[in-house]
Amino acid sequence: MDNNEAEAKVAALERILERERLARKEAEKQLEDYTRELYQQEEAVNHTQQEVASQQGQLEFLTGLLAETWRQPNLQKIVANYLERTNNFMSNAHNLFVEIHADLSFHQFQYYCQASKQQSEILPEQYKVVLSQLNRNKLYQYVSSESESQMYELGEISKAPNTNFEYSVMVPLYNLDVPSGKAVGIAILLYESQDDINIVKLQTLESSRSMLAVAIERKRAEEALQERLVELETSNKMLEQTQQQLLQQEKLASLGQLAAGVAHEINNPIGFVLSNLDTMRDYFSDFSEIIAPLNNAELNSESKVDNMLSQWQTLDGDFLLSDSEEILVASVQGLIRVKDIVSDLSTFSRMDNDELDSIDLNVVIEKSLNVVSNEFKYHHQVVKDLLPEANILGNAGKLQQVFINLFVNAKHAMPEGGTLTISSKKDRNKIVVTVKDEGHGIDPSHLADIFTPFFTTKAPGEGTGLGLAISYSILQQHNAKVTVNSELGVGTEFEIAFFESL
C-alpha cells in the first residue's frame, strides 16, 4: 500500500469517525429531549388524572344527588338527603340546614358534621352558638332576594364573633309560601379556616342547586296534586252516594205513585179471602150441626148415624164440602198473590248492589207487571209476546225498576185506555225487548231530553223527572242499548237490546 492510498484511507476513516461522533451527539441530544418530553408528559398525565378524578367526584355528587333527590317522598327528606350528600362531598365543611320564616323564627334544624357523620335533631352546642348569633334579618333578607349561594366571613353575618368557625357559605335551597307568610330554606356550610374552602367543589354545589330547586318545586306540585286527588276522590264518593240516594228516592217516588194501585191489588185478594173465611165460618157451624148427634149420649149408635144423615141432607152437606174446597183453594191462591206482590215490591225497593248475575228477563218482566197490574186492570190490555227463555247478565232489582218505570209511563201516556205490548225477540247474540204503548207519543222536540235528569212534562209533584234518566243509567250499566221510536198521537216504542248471557 503506498502512502497516498494509506493517507486516503486514514482520511476516509477520520471523516467516518467524525460523522459517527456527531451522529452519537445528535442521538444523545435526542435522547435527552425524549427524556424531558417524557417527564413533561408524565406530569401532564398526572395532572389530567387528578383533574379527571376531581371531575368524576363532582359528577358522582351531581348524578347521585339527582337520582336520589327524585326518590325522596317529601321536602324534608330531600333536604336530609342533600345534606348527607353534601357532607360526603364537601369533606371540610360542617353542614347545617335551617328554615327561616318571615317572622325570623328558625324551623326544621338538620345538620351533618364531619366528625360523627350522623344526622340528629339535637343541635350540638357549637352549631347552636352559630345559629343564635346569626343576624337573622340580614340572612332572611339575603335569601329571599338573592338566588345564588354567598360566602361570608362569619363575622359579617353574625352579631358576635365566633371562635369555632371563620367562614360560612349560605346556600338558598327553597322559597315557599306557608300559612305564616314565607319560609326560606338555607343550607349553611361552616368552615373552621379559609384553607378548608374548595372553590371548585362549591361551584359544583352551586350547579346542583337549580336541579334541586326543580325537584323541590316538582315535589310540592306532586303533593298539591295528591291533595287535589284526595279531594276529588272525596267529592266523587259523595257524588256516588248522592246518586245512590237519588236512585232510592226515585224508587220510593214511583212506589208512592204506585201505592194506591198496589194497595188495591193487595186489598182485593184479602177482601175475598176475608169473605171466603166468613163463608167458611158459616159452613163450619153447619158441619158442627151435622156432627152434633155424635156427642148426644142419649142416642144409640144407629140413631146417631140416622140423625147425622138426615142433617147432611137437610143442610146439603155435599155442596158444603165441595164449596169448602173451592173456597180454600181460592183463598190460598189469593194469599199467594198477595205474597207475590209484597215480595216483588220488596225486591224493587231494596237498596241494590251493582253485581250482575245470570237472570231470566221474563221473570223480571212478570214481576214488574205484577207490581203495576192494577194500573192496567180496568181500561187497558196487556199483551205479552215473550221468548220462552231470555237469560241475560243483569241485576233483577234494577231492571225491575226500569220496566216498572216504562210500564207506568206507558199507562200515563194512555189515560183513556189502550194496549201495552211487551215483546221480546232474539237478534244474533242479543235479546231485544220492546215495550210499546198506544199513547199520545213524545213531542219530537222533547225526544232528545227524555233521558236528561229532572226533565219532565208532567205537572209539578206528579213526576220527579228522574225515572228515565235513572233507567238509562241502569241500562248503561248493563251495556244495553236503548232506542226510542215515537209518533205523536200513535204511540211510543222503547226497544232495549241486552247481551244474551252464555
d(CA 11, CA 68): 83
Cell of 156: 359579617
Q: H/E/C letters for each residue in 172-221?
A: EEEEEEECCEEEEEEEEEEECCHHHCCHHHHHHHHHHHHHHHHHHHHHHH
- What minimum distance in Å lies between the beta carbon of 15 and other proteins? 6
Segment holding 191, helix H or strand E = strand 181-191
Nearest distance, CB of residue 30 and other proteins, angstroms: 6
Q: Which is nearer to other proteins, 12 or 230 (CB)?
A: 12
The answer to whether 422 touches 406, Cβ cutoff 8 Å, is no
Any bridge partners for residue 177, and if so which?
Answer: 182
Nearer to other proteins, 13 or 490 (CB): 13
Nearer to other proteins, 15 or 281 (CB): 15
Q: To the nearest whole angstrom, how small is the minimum distance from the Cβ of residue 79 to other proteins?
A: 53
Smallest separation (angstroms) from other proteins to the CB of 18: 9
Residue 266, CB-side half-sphere exposure with 13 Å CA sphere: 14
Helices 317-349 and 361-372 cross at an angle (nearest 10°) of 110
| 3-state secondary structure at position 209 | helix
Q: CB atoms < 10 A from the CB of 394, how many? A: 26
**CB of 327 closer than 8 Å to CB of 319:** no
CA atoms within 13 A on the CB side of 247: 23
Q: Which residues, in sequence order, are CB contacts of 392 under 8 Å at separation 6+?
A: 358, 359, 361, 431, 478, 498, 499, 500, 501
List the one residue out of 442, 372, 377, 437 whose CA is nearest residue 401.
372
Measure the CA–CA gap between 264 and 256, rounded to whole angstroms.
13
470 CB neighbour count, 10 Å cutoff = 23
Judged by CB, which is closer to other proteins: 8, or 53?
Answer: 8
Output the CA–CA distances (angstroms, integers) from residue 250 to 253, 348, 439, 458, 494, in the order listed: 5, 11, 23, 15, 20
Q: How far apart are CA 391 and CA 362, in angstroms?
A: 8
Name the minimum Å distance from CB 44 to other proteins. 18
How far apart are alpha carbons 385 and 249 in whole angstroms?
A: 32
For 422, the grid coordinates are: 211487551
CB of 213 to other proteins, least distance (A): 49
CB of 3 to other proteins, least distance (A): 16
Nearer to other proteins, 13 or 53 (CB): 13
Give the nearest distance from C-beta 64 to other proteins in angstroms.
Answer: 39
For the bound state, the minimum distance from the C-beta of residue 149 to other proteins, rounded and expressed in Å, comes to: 47
Query: What is the nearest approach in angstroms of other proteins to the Cβ of residue 110?
Result: 56
Interface positions with other proteins (CB under 8 A): 8-9, 12-13, 15-16, 19, 22-23, 26-27, 30
